[in-house]
Amino acid sequence: MSASHFVRERLVCNSSWKAAGLLVPGLLICGIASAATPQPRRQEQHFKVQTHPVVTLHNPNGTITVKAWTKAEVMVISNRASDDVEVDAEQMGNRVDVSTHATSDNVAPEDMRADYQINVPEDAELQIHNDSGEVNVANVLGDMNVETVAAAVDLEDSAGYVTIKTVGGSFQCTRCAGKLEVSSISGNLRLTDIHSYHVHAQTSTGNILFSGEFLPNGLYRLKNYSGVIEVRFSPADSFDLSATSLKGKVINEATLTPKAHQQHFYNRFGNSLIGTFNAGRAKVELTSFDGTINILKRD
Amino acid sequence: MAPMTCKNFLNGLPLRTEGTSSRDAEAHIRNCPSCRNITEDLNAIHSAARSWGGEELEPPAHLWTSLRSQLEREGLIRDERDPQLEPSNSGWFGRWFAGLPRPALAGGYLVLLIAVAFGFSRPVNRQVNEARWLEGTQVSTSPLSAQLTAEQDSFASFNNSNPVVTASLNKNLAIVDNYIALCEKSVQEEPQNEVARDYLYEAYQQKADLLAQMTERGENNR
Amino acid sequence: MPEAEAIRLAQQGNAAAFERLYRLHNRRVYSLCLRMVGNTAGAEDLTQEAFLQLFRKIATFRGESAFSTWLHRLAVNVVLMKLRKKSGTETSLDELTEPDEESGGPRRDFGGPDLRLSGSIDRVHLQRAVEQLPPGYKAVFVLHDIQGYEHNEIAEIMDCSIGNSKSQLHKARMRLRELLHEATRDKAREDRKAASADSGGED
């Protein structure tokens, strides 16, 4: 072996060791870097179901979007904010239960999040608990129960028995039919283009806007403590009206026929307005403690 | 045999609509539009009612809370928990949304809140069940007002892992407290004002529900 | 937890067993009450009263009939008592029908053509018509056609004969037919009025 060959080998060896010496820390750095950056986790699951499936979802924080489709299947696409949360989705008969849970006790708030996109048959029944974020549901005609603390809830084109409960989250419902019960403490409630025969909407300090059809024999109860209740009517509507604000105002644009009703309690405290619009087929009860009640013509 | 008359056909309808039929009746329907219309109308009513009846409606959650409180007051139930009947909750997330503890918690807080408030206002023109319930609870729970204050004070340091939820619950608790204070003032000034009294009652229910939610979430962080 | 076990524990005052029984039956009882009285506030009161009576008397349940039948009997009695109080008189079940009804024979419309109820019956109109039925007719119609009970079950719940149940049901349906035709005629009249108002430019 010549000296030059030996030197070459040594150099090569040295180079190899140097490369290794650089590579290992490099790998370590990469590993540390990857551990420090949260990696989103996307999961897609499909569940075959029969008619009227029940889908439940428990989630602490995130955006939930539910849409109807024509397949006899429930599709759940979840995106986790971190590895500190896990998504469980399991099927028991015709029921699909989805939940997000923490994998450890000390999870940072920004990591405690999962977003969902769920497709369901249009006759599915939904039960959704999402403490914060958003809940959007469109074209689902089955019964629905949504509970949240601070999430905003947006429904479109629903038709079943819908119950919504929020603490501070707002609620918006467009083109909804069926039966609607919504309660909140400080959330605003916006009900537009409604074709429902039973509406019970209550918020303490939020505003309520109702613009929809008053169906014959329908019952519409809107109640708040303070804030504005605004109801818009058309000339063809037909309802018995009772509007009371204990400490606030009642502003009315409907031409009412004064009538004594056994069912209505004429409150001698505060400002009350009772009367019949056209044939009085539906019943409308508006109550506020010290807010303003506006009964206005629809444009 | 003489063909069936309309009178005979209609007199036999109660049995016929239950699925039994006779050749004479069927022949009569073929030839008599009036009786055919009546039969079809009755079948349409039956079908419409059946489809309506397909829905079983859920009563509101507060009904069980109210019922349970009444049963406790009457001494009909004990508060033992049968492990077989309790829902299984996995981890603290499951306990966030456990349906069973929350109504019981909300009901308990509601009893305390109403007893405190109605200690200084007379219930007037209440429904019979509620008046009896309130009278009963006033005596038994008025010493607990201090406990209610202490319970609420424990939430001074309420902190959930989700700051948005924490902020919302605390803010809305303050809103409801303010709302209760204003309603109580109104009821004191105008004891005959049923609407104000109803608002006060609802405010208590809201507060009870909020405290129950905070309890669940607070326990999960202990 | 099977219902039988929940009943046994409830008879000993177990809170969780009470709740189990409530959860098993609350929807059916509430639906019945709501369809009988037509408003949620009344239905809630009646549902609560029915379950209160159930739980007060549960120690006396011996299993002679199905538990659900026993509960629904209580519920129907609670509802009928409420309706009787509303009408102001104490009347028997058989009297809770239209008093001038001839026994056995159905009423017939005289004068005017028999009209078909075209297409499917509007739920809202049917609901309104049911609310106008006398209490006895309403009870049997709700139990049979809406809730799906058989006549032998209704007879046990309402303490009447099977023949009586069938007869009441038929009368209820005939009366509903009349009410629905009236509603159809009223609507046609209103539509004609609205159409002539639009074309004539009236208020």
pLDDT digits (tens, 9 = 90+) for B139-155: 333 333 444 455 555 55
Domain carrying residue C187 = 103-198
Examine the domain organization and report whether A16 and A101 are in the same domain. Answer: no
Would C93 be classed as within a structural domain? no
Binary contact (A100, B193; C-beta < 8 A): no
Examine the domain organization and report whether A49 and A70 are in the same domain. Answer: yes
The residues pairing with C77 across neighbouring beta strands, listed in sequence order, are none
**pLDDT reported for residue A121:** 95
Q: Which residue out of A183, A217, A283, A297 would a mutagenesis test of the C interface target, given it has the greatest number of C Cβ atoms within 10 Å?
A: A217
Closest by Cα among A231, A243, A228, A229 to A276: A243
**More confident site: A92 or C94:** A92
Examine the domain organization and report whether A33 and A76 are in the same domain. Answer: no
Examine the domain organization and report whether C38 and C123 are in the same domain. Answer: no
Tell me how close the Cα of B134 comes to any Cα of chain C, in angstroms.
Answer: 17
Does residue B27 surpass a pLDDT of 90?
Answer: no
Examine the domain organization and report whether A58 and A77 are in the same domain. Answer: yes
**pLDDT reported for residue A71:** 93
Examine the domain organization and report whether C132 and C184 are in the same domain. Answer: yes
Binary contact (C146, B18; C-beta < 8 A): no
**pLDDT reported for residue B101:** 55
Does residue C53 surpass a pLDDT of 90?
Answer: no
Q: Which residue out of B15, B16, B52 would a mutagenesis test of the C interface target, given it has the greatest number of C Cβ atoms within 10 Å?
A: B52
Binary contact (A58, B164; C-beta < 8 A): no
Would A162 be classed as within a structural domain? no
C chain contacts of residue B70, beta-carbon cutoff 8 Å: 48, 52
Binary contact (C128, A215; C-beta < 8 A): no
Q: Provide CB contacts within 8 A for C59, sequence distance 6+.
A: C11
Of A200, A217, A279, the CB nearest to C127: A217
Does residue A201 surpass a pLDDT of 80?
Answer: yes
Using beta carbons and an 8 Å cutoff, which residues of A are at the interface with C? 197-198, 200, 215-219, 236, 279
Binary contact (A289, B182; C-beta < 8 A): yes
**pLDDT reported for residue A31:** 46
**pLDDT reported for residue B93:** 45
Would C95 be classed as within a structural domain? no
Q: How confident is the model at residue C88 (pLDDT cuts 50, 70, 90)?
A: low
Examine the domain organization and report whether A14 and A25 are in the same domain. Answer: yes
Tell me how close the Cα of C126 comes to any Cα of chain A, in angstroms.
Answer: 10
CB-neighbour burial class of residue C47 (10 A; exposed 0-12, middle 13-18, buried 19+):
buried
Would C43 be classed as within a structural domain? yes
| Count of domains forming chain C | 2
Would A163 be classed as within a structural domain? no
Closest by Cα among B92, B109, B69 to B212: B109
Ordered by start, the domain boundaries in chain B are: 6-48, 62-220
Cα separation, A193 vs A200, whole angstroms: 16
Q: How confident is the model at residue A76 (pLDDT cuts 50, 70, 90)?
A: very high
- Summary mean pLDDT of chain A: 84
Tell me how close the Cα of A70 comes to any Cα of chain B, in angstroms.
Answer: 22
Summarised one tens digit per residue, pLDDT across range C3-21 is 888 888 888 888 889 999 9
Would C96 be classed as within a structural domain? no
Would C41 be classed as within a structural domain? yes
Examine the domain organization and report whether C14 and C82 are in the same domain. Answer: yes
Tell me how close the Cα of A212 comes to any Cα of chain C, in angstroms.
Answer: 17
Examine the domain organization and report whether A3 and A75 are in the same domain. Answer: no
Domain limit, last residue, from A105, A125, A154: A154
Closest by Cα among B125, B107, B15, B32 to B70: B107
DSSP structure class, residue A257? B
Domain limit, last residue, from C56, C87, C118: C87
**pLDDT reported for residue B20:** 61
Q: How confident is the model at residue C60 (pLDDT cuts 50, 70, 90)?
A: confident
One-letter amino acid at A61 equals N
Examine the domain organization and report whether A186 and A197 are in the same domain. Answer: yes
Binary contact (B179, A205; C-beta < 8 A): yes
Q: What size, in residues, is chain B?
A: 222
A89, A97 Cβ separation under 8 angstroms: yes
Mean pLDDT, range A118-142, rounded to an integer: 94
Binary contact (A167, B55; C-beta < 8 A): no
**pLDDT reported for residue C153:** 85
- Per-residue tokens: C176: 């509903």
Cα separation, A240 vs A274, whole angstroms: 8
DSSP structure class, residue A55? E
Examine the domain organization and report whether A46 and A31 are in the same domain. Answer: no
CATH assignment of the domain containing C149: 1.10.10.10
| Strand A282-288 relative to strand A41-48, pairing | unpaired
Examine the domain organization and report whether A202 and A286 are in the same domain. Answer: yes
- Per-residue tokens: B27: 């022949």
Cα separation, C122 vs C115, whole angstroms: 16
| Count of domains forming chain A | 3
Examine the domain organization and report whether A126 and A61 are in the same domain. Answer: yes
Binary contact (B67, C114; C-beta < 8 A): no
Summarised one tens digit per residue, pLDDT across range C164-201 is 889 899 999 999 999 888 888 877 788 888 888 776 54
Q: Is B63 on the interface with C (CB under 8 A)?
A: yes
**pLDDT reported for residue B112:** 63
Mean pLDDT, range B214-222, rounded to an integer: 63
Examine the domain organization and report whether C77 and C157 are in the same domain. Answer: no
Does residue A270 surpass a pLDDT of 90?
Answer: no
Examine the domain organization and report whether A62 and A109 are in the same domain. Answer: yes
Q: How confident is the model at residue C120 (pLDDT cuts 50, 70, 90)?
A: low
**pLDDT reported for residue A53:** 93
Examine the domain organization and report whether C107 and C81 are in the same domain. Answer: no
Would C67 be classed as within a structural domain? yes
**pLDDT reported for residue C119:** 56
Examine the domain organization and report whether C52 and C107 are in the same domain. Answer: no
A chain contacts of residue B180, beta-carbon cutoff 8 Å: none
A chain contacts of residue C125, beta-carbon cutoff 8 Å: 216-217
Domain limit, last residue, from C32, C59, C87: C87
A&C contacts, CB < 8 Å: 17
- Summary mean pLDDT of chain B: 69
Q: In this predicted structure, which of A96-110, A237-251, B77-91, C28-42 has the lowest mean pLDDT?
A: B77-91
B41, B13 Cβ separation under 8 angstroms: no
Domain carrying residue A33 = 1-37
3-state secondary structure of C114: coil
| Strand A41-48 relative to strand A73-80, pairing | antiparallel
**More confident site: C93 or B19:** B19
% of chain A residues with pLDDT over 70: 83
Mean pLDDT, range B43-49, rounded to an integer: 87
Of B91, B167, B176, the CB nearest to A185: B176
Q: How confident is the model at residue B18 (pLDDT cuts 50, 70, 90)?
A: low
**pLDDT reported for residue A108:** 81
Q: How confident is the model at residue B21 (pLDDT cuts 50, 70, 90)?
A: low
A57, A76 Cβ separation under 8 angstroms: no
Binary contact (B82, C14; C-beta < 8 A): yes
Of C39, C40, C124, the CB nearest to A216: C124
Q: What is the DSSP string of C129-166?
A: HHHTS-HHHHHHHIIIIIT---HHHHHHHHTS-HHHHH
Q: Which residue out of C19, C30, C36 would a mutagenesis test of the B interface target, given it has the greatest number of B Cβ atoms within 10 Å?
A: C19
